[in-house]
Structure formats: C-alpha cells, structure tokens
Amino acid sequence: MNEAIERVIAEIAGEKSDGASSLALRGLDAMEILCAELPDDPTAALDKIRGLAMRLDRLRPSMAAIGSQAVLAATRAAAFVADGLPPVAALSQAVRIEREMLGQASATIAGLVADELGPGGAIATCSWSVTAMRVLLAVRPSRIFIGEGHKLGDGLRAAKWLAARGIETTVVPDAALPEAVRGARVTLVGADQVLSDGSVVNRSSTFSMALAARHYNVPFYVACQRIKLSGNATAVIEESHHLFGDLPAGVAAWSPLFDVTPAALVDAFFTESGRLSPAEAGEVGAGIAQLRAELYARA
C-alpha cells in the first residue's frame, strides 16, 4: 500500500474527536488514492479494492460507518467492473457516487427531523456529529444543552459551531446531562454504529441520556446516515487512555469512549431512508452486513 494511503489510515486510526461520517469520508479518500495503483486486470484490481475495504472495515470497530462506507464503495465498484467498466474508472465512479450520497444524506435527515419537530424549545445532545449538527441547525431550537467529556473537546467544538450560527448553546459536563434532559422537549444524538437489534453505539453518556429521557418522558431520537446501520450483533468499545494522566501503582483506569444504548430506549431513528423504528433500522443494517459478508467471501 502506498505512503499516501498509509497516512490516511493512520489519521483515521488516531483521530478520537471527529465523527464517524467524517472519518468514513477519509476512508473514501484512501480508496480514491488507490485508483492510481490499480492494475488493468479486473480480478487483480478487485482484489486490491477488497483488500483496502476490509482493512478499513477492521480499523475502528466501534465506528463501523468507516468500514460500511468502504464496503458499499467496493461493492459498487465491483458491479461497475462486471458491467465492463475498467477498474480505475469503476472505483473512481463508485467513490464519487458514495461521496455524493453521504453528503446528501445529512441534508435529507435534517429536513425530515425539522418537519417532524418544528422550531423552538430546548434540545439535549452530546458529542460532535455532522448529521446531528445539521439537524439542530435545521430545527433551530431556542437552546441546546450539549455534553462535554473525555477531555476530547468534541462537545465544546459542537457548541462553538452552533453558537457561530446563532443558536444559543450551553455546555454541560456529561454527569449533568440527565438534568439537562429533564428540561428539554427532545433528546437527539448521532450514532457511531447501530447494531442488528437497533441498539446504538455512541459517545459514552448517550446511555445515561436515554435513561433520563425515558424517566422524564422526553422523546429520544437518533439521527444518522444508513452507513451507521452496520448489522453487527455486538460492539467493540474503544477506550481513552489520556483522561486521568499518569496513575500510581495499584490504580487502574477504565474510560470507554463509547457506550451501548438498548434499542428499547430509542423512540425513532431518522436516516436518509426516512423515520425508522429500531427493528426497521436493524433490517436495513442486515442488508449492509450481507454485503460485508459477500465481500469477505470473495477475498
């Protein structure tokens, strides 16, 4: 693999504060770079495309969207090759289409949520999510409460982005998010991955927000692109190794970057495919999981 691709892969692996969809776009960057070294032979070229897609799929298991996006691009490229397109043109066109679809997805989701919720009121959220930010900008709530934790600055980054666009935003520590939920009309988060049963893998503190939303009878919504619907049955949870600094002997640290919110606590998913129940989200994910299985079987 060439140096440019290795550099992109290292950046994706090391980035801990950006959202899964942004990192999925970086994965598409790596696939686009691959075009320059594809052989003319279709079989050999598809082997290279599948190899990179599988590498991206394994790179950040907690953020399955990175791999799902690569799997979709590789599947589309293989279909183009089967239709007679040269490998370079096939992969280039597949990446372009996937990039355009990913860009349009957030706008579609934002419109769906804005139509359902209408403007005004307070909304509680956490973390940085491109889709969630665009949704909040479309809804124009009167105030947003956003959680910050792990010293990663993702919540503060989101708050600054929203404030710069005229939306009053209050940053709260993750531990105070349940109280923020109590004063909100809706809780809305993005997702790093949706499992096959509709459970949501997202920045840790999401589960506590969902529990608080159920307790206070506040709707809990998830806004995410379909590449987040991984179809995986379980999640691998990454940890932060920098939250507590150096610790003395005998003191261990456990600081998960993500948690898993059970499907039973989710009122609805909003994707570019529309408003989905947890069961429907699991069904869409099953389709992506099938494409992933077929990709690995042909490798």
Residue-by-residue DSSP string for 39-91: -SSHHHHHHHHHHHHHHHHHH-TT-THHHHHHHHHHHHHHHHHHTT--HHHHH
Q: Hey, what are 89's tokens?
A: 């043109």
pLDDT at res. 103: 86
Amino acid at 292: R
What is the structure's pLDDT at 217?
97
Query: Which residues 6+ apart lie within 8 Å of 139 measured at CB?
Result: 110, 113, 114, 117, 118, 119, 123
Domains assigned to the chain? 3-104 (1.20.120.420), 106-287 (3.40.50.10470)
pTM above the 0.85 mark?
yes
Joined together, the tokens standing for residue 79 give 């279909």
Q: How far is CA 274 from the centre of its chain?
A: 17
Residue entry with tokens 């692109």: 225
Helix axes 87-117, 20-34, angle to 10 degrees: 160
pLDDT in tens, 37-49: 999 999 999 999 9
Helical ranges in the chain per DSSP H: 3-14, 20-34, 42-59, 65-82, 87-117, 130-139, 154-163, 177-182, 206-215, 278-298
- d(CA 184, CA 128) in angstroms, rounded, equals 19
Q: Using CB atoms within 10 Å of the CB of residue 28, give its burial: 0 to 12 exposed, 13 to 18 middle, 19+ buried.
A: buried
Kindly state the helix (H) or strand (E) to which residue 117 belongs, with its residue range. Answer: helix 87-117
The pair phi, psi for residue 267, each rounded to 5°, is -80, -35
d(CA 113, CA 117): 6
What's residue 151's pLDDT?
64
Confidence at residue 164, expressed as pLDDT on a 0 to 100 scale: 94
Sign (positive or negative) of CA dihedral 219, 220, 226, 230: negative
Pick out the chain residues at pLDDT < 50: none
